[in-house]
Amino acid sequence: MQIGLKHTKTLTVAERDCAAQVGSGMLPVLATPVMAALMEMTAAESVLPFLEPGMTTVGTRLELDHLAADPVGVTVTCESVLTEIDRRRLTFEITVRDGEETVGRCRHDRFLVESEKFMKKAKEKAERLKA
């Protein structure tokens, strides 16, 4: 894994992806939470081939600008670029574009974690909160 690593994903906006459907607004356009998920998924997938067995990444920061609306039927392309590696922290610059303009951009941090250890802590927390 190295700086400059790029990955792309596309999404054709469907009704289920719209603000009115996910509760983030009232209009039938690509919802910000759906765009955020697309951004995180694109970055996460980019590093999968480089992870050791038992390792994964978790998102910890998403600084997002949603710049333009895209209605149902429009296809958007998301591109992530790995811009920084600081021990376990990976930083990405991500853009989402339709055929006309940039509709979203963000800076996104993900941390490398050991899956089993991470889930053990999460389960322990769940047990504490039940008490």
pLDDT value of position 35: 98
| Catalytic residue chosen out of the listed positions 7, 42, 57, 66 | 66
pLDDT value of position 96: 98
In this structure, how many other beta carbons lie within 10 angstroms of the beta carbon of residue 94?
A: 25
DSSP letters spanning 3-48: TT-EEEEEEE--GGGBHHHHTS-SSSBB-HHHHHHHHHHHHHHHHG
pLDDT value of position 15: 95
In this structure, how many other beta carbons lie within 10 angstroms of the beta carbon of residue 112?
A: 18
pLDDT in tens, 10-22: 999 999 999 999 9
Output the pTM of the full model.
Answer: 0.92
Q: Is 108 a catalytic residue?
A: no
Question: What's the alpha-carbon Rg for the chain, to the nearest Å?
Answer: 16
Q: Is 77 a catalytic residue?
A: no
Which domains, and CATH codes, for the chain? 6-130 (3.10.129.10)
